[in-house]
Structure 1
Amino acid sequence: MADPALTDAEAFARIRLCRTRSIGPVTYRQLLARFGTAEAALRAIPDLARRGGGAPPPLAPVADIECEQAWISRIGARYLHLGAADYPPLLAELENAPPVLTAMGDSALTEGRPVAIVGARNASAAAIRFARQLAHELGEAGIAVASGLARGIDTAAHHGALATGTIGVIAGGIDIVYPPENDALQRAIAEKGLLLAEQPPGTEPRARHFPYRNRIIAGCTAGTVVIEAAPKSGSLITARLAAESGREVMAVPGSPLDPRAQGCNKLIRDGATLIQSASDVIDSLRPFGADRLAAPRAPYQAELADQTAAGENERRALVALLGPSPVPIDEMVRLSGLPASAVQLVLLELELAGRLERHAGGRVALA
């Protein structure tokens, strides 16, 4: 179901805005906050980039978006716009939430307290059996299970919760199956559960796409359970993103002699909740946002930002504060003495001009 306030023209403009190469989720939000609509933001981008001292970025071609929309309709998928009633509510809380998702299946599965189950691709037989059983028992308790459709633990979790409701988050386009052996599973999730993808249809998954997928898994769920994970694995990235988003991090302990258990054991040592059963997961989630989840949901709306702008001298002073090392935006506001809205506008201009890079933790640096 689309946001009734979103016209076809505005929906098209939002897709075009987020498909423009230089526009990330944070920049997308800032543009909507400053200009109110994606249509107005698209018109303003060339002037913003020129003020930032660079050439305007090439906007996503209209013909490409028309072809994408036609293909999405043909394969039976749909768009979920940030701000729409069917957009995952917990994911919408993230500052870098995807502006647009493509989906197939039941969006209601993202309501309440979904749980992510992730882990090793080369998982042991015991871990795979436990993941399937845990997902099944959580599903029987009315909790949807999300994962990333990878081999091993992800696949086991999806199979365990397939009958009760599972959310599969795809690293590539929603019409791309990866790994190939999960073709039947992916089609079953589209029919019985929910498939989500951030990348445009037809996008083959690349290594750089998986961290983006992991943030969606962590962001659309109330907590993440890790079952077997080597140090520096993608599962630990998902756990870290969950913790940074204020979500519960849980881990299943394993033998210290098994390298696949090192990541989970380290998570527990660092404060993650030790999990041995579905009841442990349910108990861990009881305190999570009870008041927030009980409150009526209000769709995200871009609140118009203060239109304070910086003068040329102030713009030069802000650029002088930047360098190749990332610096917090709050620090730039403090050092410049300018209103936060003026600082944000200059940074937006520099980014659209290709002169600024955004980093984690609200930090920026010269490109």
Structure 2
Amino acid sequence: MSLPETERLARLRLARADRVGPVSFRQLLDRFGSAVRALEALPDLVRKGGGHGYALPDPDRIDAELAAGDRAGARLLVLGDPDFSPPLTALDPPPPLLWTRGDVTLLSREAVAVVGARIASAGGQRIARGLAQQLGQAGYVVVSGLARGIDAAAHAGSMPTGTVAVLGGGVDDVYPADNAALYDQIVDRGCVVSESPMGARAQARDFPRRNRIISGLSRGVIVVEAELRSGSLITARLAGEQGRDVFAVPGSPLDPRSKGPNELLRQGAILCEGLDDVRRAFETLRTLREPAADSPFTGADDDVDPIFLDRVAGLLSPTPTPRDEIARALDAPIGRVAAALLELSLAGRATLLPGGSAST
């Protein structure tokens, strides 16, 4: 069932609100039942949490983002829309929204990510292109990040069968610029997606979020070439946390670009030399793990007084602390603790983390 347009716009505005990330966005929806009600309650929640002078996003700013999307021929999908990707909906937490260009039906098909080094060897690019071709011919959509090297080869190999490019900046931010022709092809024949606002230019902080979308869209992630400190290994780690299968293409120990995949194999990744390895894993290993659907909130009127907020805040540290551990320490209902953590995060006094933990 489609969301009312007022609710869709409210979800965009809530997602763009200061200090509202994917975790707090989902918790606000759980607690208040709609983004419309959550927006009405947000200033008061910030005040109760100890914050001051909170302003909701200017409606003109939201209108400008929507107008930019129209000019670019982009489509906005918000969490709860019928076409929103089922694998992303199952994440804990899911992204609040996606801007898209191209064929959004690809986001609902079974997908495999192929990622790796930007400065890739000719052999690595050949492997990535061949894997992508095999995966596409077997019916999988291939997901990658539009970077140079392995990503570009994976998109090129799967162009005829379906490919999705996930961007760090806005869906209209072609980065790197020398992949502009590839970007145009994907818009015409595949799908480009981004969680960032229209017009946003990619910053270093955006790429972990982008990598989370890449792994979240996919049933498995294949790393072809990557150094030990690389975004591809971050994608592999996120895939493992999301219950996705992690594959690695082995390489020569003499090549630094093989150290990442070889290390993943030591840690238990699945060796991948071709499509048969992927098929075998999908036939014998687990299906996608989905988070529990239960909300920690008992309702919209959880009683959180300033004294209780301060007690919860006093139990937090830079080390993530599970929500149920705080509840046990305070002998308090989990819903009350969840409400307190949400208010502290909106006031800038805590950071909510996936899985029900929080830190300072």
What TM-score do the two structures reach when normalised by structure 2?
0.94
Match of residue 26 from structure 1: 23
Amino acid in structure 2 at the alignment position of 1:35: F
State the distance in 2 between where 1:338 and 1:270 align.
39
Matched, 1:274 2:277: no
Match of residue 163 from structure 1: 160
Matched, 1:117 2:109: no
Match of residue 39 from structure 1: 36
Match of residue 340 from structure 1: 334
TM-fit CA distance, 1:191 = 1.2
Q: 1:301 to 1:265 in 2, by over 3 A?
A: closer
State the distance in 1 between where 2:29 and 2:20 align.
12
Match of residue 14 from structure 2: 17
Q: 1:93 to 1:12 in 2, by over 3 A?
A: same
Q: Is the 8 A contact 1:57 1:352 kept in 2?
A: no
State the distance in 2 between where 1:22 and 1:335 align.
27
Q: 1:322 to 1:301 in 2, by over 3 A?
A: closer
Matched, 1:57 2:54: yes
Match of residue 297 from structure 1: none
Match of residue 76 from structure 1: 73
Amino acid in structure 2 at the alignment position of 1:43: E
Q: Is the 8 A contact 1:45 1:56 kept in 2?
A: no
> Which sits farther off after the overlay, 80-89 or 22-31?
80-89
Q: 1:83 to 1:301 in 2, by over 3 A?
A: farther
Amino acid in structure 1 at the alignment position of 2:90: E
Match of residue 213 from structure 2: 216
Amino acid in structure 2 at the alignment position of 1:306: T
Matched, 1:306 2:285: no
Q: Is the 8 A contact 1:224 1:250 kept in 2?
A: yes
Match of residue 199 from structure 2: 202
State the distance in 2 between where 1:312 and 1:72 align.
42
State the distance in 2 between where 1:32 and 1:302 align.
13
Q: Is the 8 A contact 1:83 1:301 kept in 2?
A: no
SS in 2 for 1:225: strand
Q: Which 5+ residue runs of structure 2 have no aligned equivalent? A: none
Match of residue 91 from structure 1: 88
Residues 208-239 of structure 1, C-alpha deviations (whole Å, 9 max, x = no match): 00110000000010000000110021000000
Match of residue 123 from structure 2: 126
Match of residue 193 from structure 1: 190
TM-fit CA distance, 1:290 = 5.7
TM-fit CA distance, 1:190 = 1.0
Q: Is the 8 A contact 1:102 1:174 kept in 2?
A: yes
1:106 to 98, 103, 108: 103
Amino acid in structure 1 at the alignment position of 2:34: T
Q: Is the 8 A contact 2:172 2:198 kept in 1?
A: yes
Q: Is the 8 A contact 2:128 2:224 kept in 1?
A: yes
Amino acid in structure 2 at the alignment position of 1:280: D
State the distance in 2 between where 1:175 and 1:64 align.
17
SS in 2 for 1:149: coil
What TM-score do the two structures reach when normalised by structure 1?
0.92
TM-fit CA distance, 1:292 = 8.9
Number of equivalenced pairs: 357
Please provide the CA RMSD for this pair: 2.1
State the distance in 2 between where 1:324 and 1:271 align.
29
Amino acid in structure 2 at the alignment position of 1:337: D
